[in-house]
Amino acid sequence: MSDPEEQFEDFLREFEAVRPRALQQAPDPHLYYWGRFAAAAVLLLSCALSAWLVWRGQSSGSPAQRAALPLQSAEQSQPRHRSLISWTQLALRDPQSLDQELDAQSRIVLPRFNLPQSTLRVLAKE
């Protein structure tokens, strides 16, 4: 019986050394720069577009000129959908006008409870 170390060495001689394959070349780093540039351009354009839409949506003229315009009654006007930014700008610019606008919007948007078909009247029946 042979030595276990010799058996192990014989076992190891059975293997053949294999040459490792060549490493793949890294992609061109300039491609990454163009991708970053394109992403930055898209981000910049989207920010500019959103800012333009916000500023375009504002009414022109001074607050005094806007106050001189006749206000429509709540029943005649349609609900105006405002963004959070436009509500904030209105609150900062003219708080009294904000109160009037919120009053008008509440009459249009919120449910009325004094009508015969209102839920509150149905629930209040005895």
pLDDT digits (tens, 9 = 90+) for 43-94: 999 999 998 888 887 655 555 555 555 544 444 445 567 788 888 888 899 8
Alpha-carbon gap, residue 23 to 21, rounded angstroms: 6
Residue range(s) defining the domain that contains residue 109: 82-126
Examine residue 47 and state whether it is found in any structural domain, yes or no: no
| pLDDT number for residue 31 | 72
Locus of tokens 């990454």: 32
Number of domains in the chain: 1
Contact 63, 93 (CB under 8 A): yes
| pLDDT tens digits, one per residue of 97-106 | 888 888 888 8
- Predicted local distance difference test score (pLDDT) of residue 125: 66
Lowest mean pLDDT among 42-46, 85-89, 109-113, 122-126: 122-126
In the block, which residue shows the tokens 């009053």? 103
Residue 101, in any domain of the structure = yes
123 domain residue, yes or no:
yes
Q: Check residue 79 and give its pLDDT.
A: 52
Please check whether residue 75 lies inside any domain of the structure. Answer: no
The H or E element spanning position 10 is helix 4-13
Instruction: Confirm if 105 and 80 have CB atoms less than 8 A apart.
Output: yes
pLDDT at 32 exceeding the cut of 70: yes
